[in-house]
Amino acid sequence: MDKVKYSGAEKRQFVRLPYRSPLQYKVCKEDTIKMIMHGYTENISQSGLLCNIKEDVPQDSVLWLLLDLGALTTCAEIEKRSIILQHGILGRVVRTYQKKNGSFDVGVRFLTREEPADTDLFRKVYIAEDMAHHNENR
């Protein structure tokens, strides 16, 4: 499938910067929260990122993303706006695209403190409690 160049009005609020870097993440569901998975970032902005991963993660899934210091420095505003748990940032999958090699480009919007509480609140709390418990047992 060839990518079609979008020619409409830009909808993004923040500029995306090319940033290719290793990424660790977790899908915030009870059956996957203890599994650290790997991929890499493609680009990043203050509101989200595009990453490439092997797993097909459903749209609207909440991810815990461990970004390197370079990514955090690139977008200093991330920490001010986003929900940070155990040195990672929470984000919601907004789109996925399967590439020819079988991997997935995944668009992630960072969850912010300004957002109203929703049904994912349980998952956010579950992550924090589970990760804190995991760190205590080390």
The DSSP annotation for the chain comes to -PPPPP-S----SS--EEEEEEEEEEE-STTTTT--EEEEEEEE-SSEEEEEESS-PPTT-EEEEE--HHHHHHTTHHHHHB-EETTEEEEEEEEEEE-TTS-EEEEEEEPBTTSPP-TTHHHHHHHHHHHHHHHHT-
Q: Where are the domains of the chain?
A: 17-136
Domain at 17-136: CATH code:
2.40.10
The pTM of the full predicted model, rounded to 2 decimals, is 0.73
Q: What is the mean pLDDT of the chain?
A: 78
Give me the pLDDT at residue 31, please: 81
Q: What is the pLDDT of residues 59-112, one digit of tens each?
A: 999 999 998 777 766 666 666 778 877 778 899 999 999 999 999 999 999 988
Give me the pLDDT at residue 18, please: 83
